[in-house]
Chains A and B, each alone.
Chain A
Amino acid sequence: MDIPFDLLLNAIMAGLLLGGFYAAVTAGVSISFGMLDIVNIAHPAFVILGSYLAYFININYGVDPILVSILMLPPFYALGAAVYQVYHVSFEKRGQDALRGLAFFFGLLFVTEVSLILVFGVDYRYVEAWYIGPSIHIGIVDLPLRMLVPCLAALALFGVIHLIITRTFTGRAIMAVSQDQLALQLMAADPIRIKRIAFGISIAVAAVAGALLIIIQPVEPSVGREYIGRVFAICVLGGLGSMPGTLIAAMLLGVVESITATFYGPSWAPAVAFGFLLLTLAFRPAGLLGR
């Protein structure tokens, strides 16, 4: 097949921008699944919940979606902490987290989606902001601002999380908690509290990612399901719990998806993530940068 160079270049750039955003969606899963060993498959549902809140506040009060996402951090942190508390008391403590914990999160995913359908309907919703329409042209490359702004916001968010995790005591405790709870207790940190904080952070990040998602594309309640395959593929490919690995894997998936969509049509794009996931699981289960 003869591939036009400018089309390819544009597809790669769009993929990198998309990848930056994917990194933000996956960051929360990297914490909950990669570090805490909690298989929160309801993560995309919280992302979509964030999208709808951003939509609701943006349309009714005209607040910028990125500003909304920052305002949403504390309530979503509290929500995440609450969900973890329920999970801990009902499943982790009883030692039944494998089967019933998964069913619990699946139920949450489902309930959130159906509730959003009942409240907002199945129509696509979008937000309004000054950066939605225009784009920057550099040579033959088009950079639409509605991709560039979320990507930069996502990368900033990703950087902040990385700093929190690697530089603060709490962050290091989060990395340690799934490896050795006893050692953590000897360092005077309560593992349950640390996990609660970490899960709260992961859900707060999901809300921000949701606000960014609705800038990039219109959202309807079942969009979240497409992201389940994506976030776990990125998380596994990057190596569980490795933040730099997550970023690289997100960019890689973004580029491959974008190229697939450009040359084979967008209806094939969802299959890419799954292909990645299966190939990774089959050939390199530890991920790209796995230890």
Chain B
Amino acid sequence: MVKFSLIAVAVGVALLLGAHWVSVDYLYFATYTILQFVVLATAWNILGGYCGYVNFGSAAFFALGAYSSVFLHKAFPLPVPLLIVVGGIVSGIVGLGMGYLTLRLRGSFFAIATLALAVVLATLVVNWDYVGGSRGAYIIRPESIDILGLKITYIEYLFALMLALTVIALIAARAIERSQLGFGFATIRDDELAAEACGVPTLKLKLIATTLSGAFMGMAGAPFPYYIGYLQPSSAFGLEYAVNSIAMPMIGGTTSWVGPLVGAILLGTAQQYATVTISSAVNLLIVGLMLVAFVIIAPNGIVGLVQERLRARRRQ
């Protein structure tokens, strides 16, 4: 656990220094998006992969984080790291509420409710003029920022924050996976009724999972308005967040923390490339088709395929 955290932090610092050494703005923009997807995919996987409960409303939790930043930016401005904490708290509370209302019933109700949640939150935001309504909100980010006497560009600052968040999310996911909590989650995924009968507090565990998962999504969304500069409901609630945060873990593999990381890096990079070279609609179509193909052909994702290959080699 400690060893893994140290390695993860070391990799993060190495990436940060490497990026600072290259120092190309486009690189920051592109990798920020990919890291954001790593956090979203990891967050989705805490509930979806470990517990087996599907959340279609990732975009809603993400947008909730983004819009709480917009609200605070207007009401009483805070530094971005604090905004990330606030976004996480807001989304976590909504996740808890959703879970409490729907998770006592059959699992599919939760999935349906999350789908509808995105539509309703979008409706609320569209009708809420204070955060820009349907016109959207402008956030003018400073050119640069001083940290410990070191002057860096704002986009590098945002990149560093998202990198830190990614490291935290991955460490948290791995820690959950190997703790009692993770084993509890796995029993829910495999057979909820049997788990309940054996005395596993399933509802409590599920609520912990929805809260954690929602909170990380909100944290991923909180710096987004500063990154994009102009936030409107259709971009914050975009279907691409919902589909990507499902497709990435599914394609990477849902059983461990490696899957979402692999899936997000792979799909994220491919999409950055395709958006520039082809068109953004075609690249979303490819993501959708890959999702359908993977759930049918390779239900355990890339990680599952690799594991099978290794096992087959060992047997020989």
**Which residues of A come within 8 Å of B, CB atoms?**
33, 39, 41, 86, 90-91, 94, 96, 98-100, 102-104, 106-108, 110-111, 113-115, 117-118, 222, 225-226, 228-229, 232-233, 236, 265, 267-268, 270-271, 273-275, 277-278, 281-282, 285
Contacts and interface: CB of A to CB of B under 8 A. Distances in A.
Given A107-B288, A114-B288, A274-B116, 5 more contacts: A86-B296, A99-B189, A102-B54, A103-B295, A110-B287
Contacts of A111: 285, 288-289, 292
B245 to A, nearest CB: 11
Interface stretch (B29-37, B102-110, B146-154): B102-110
Interface residues of B, number: 44
B56 interface: yes
A103 B53 CA distance: 11
Which of A98, A108, A115 is most buried by chain B, counting CB atoms within 10 A of its CB? Answer: A98
A277 B292 contact: no
A136 B254 CA distance: 57
A285 B105 contact: yes
Interface in B223-248: 239, 243, 246-247
Interface string B253-289: 0100000000000000000000000000110110111
13 contacts: A41-B56, A90-B296, A98-B107, A100-B250, A102-B54, A103-B291, A118-B285, A229-B115, A229-B119, A236-B112, A277-B113, A278-B113, A281-B109
A285 B127 CA distance: 30
Interface of B: 48, 52-54, 56, 101-102, 105, 107-109, 111-113, 115-117, 119-120, 122-124, 126-127, 134, 189, 239, 243, 246-247, 250, 254, 281-282, 284-285, 287-289, 291-292, 295-296, 299
Given A114-B284, A115-B285, A226 B119 contact: yes
A94 B109 contact: no
A156 to B, nearest CB: 28
Contacts of B291: 103, 106-107, 110
Contacts of B111: 39, 41, 102
A115 B284 CA distance: 10
A214 B114 CA distance: 27
B116 A118 contact: no
Nearest to B295: A100
Nearest to B249: A103
A104 to B, nearest CB: 5
B123 A267 contact: yes
Given A41-B56, A281-B101, A104 B292 contact: yes
B299 A114 contact: no
Contacts of A275: 120
B281 A118 contact: yes
Nearest to A94: B299
A87 B288 CA distance: 16
B295 A114 contact: no
Contact of B52 (A98, A232, A271): A98
Nearest to A86: B296
A59 B119 CA distance: 31
Contact of B127 (A99, A104, A267, A274): A267
Nearest to B104: A285
A111 B247 CA distance: 12
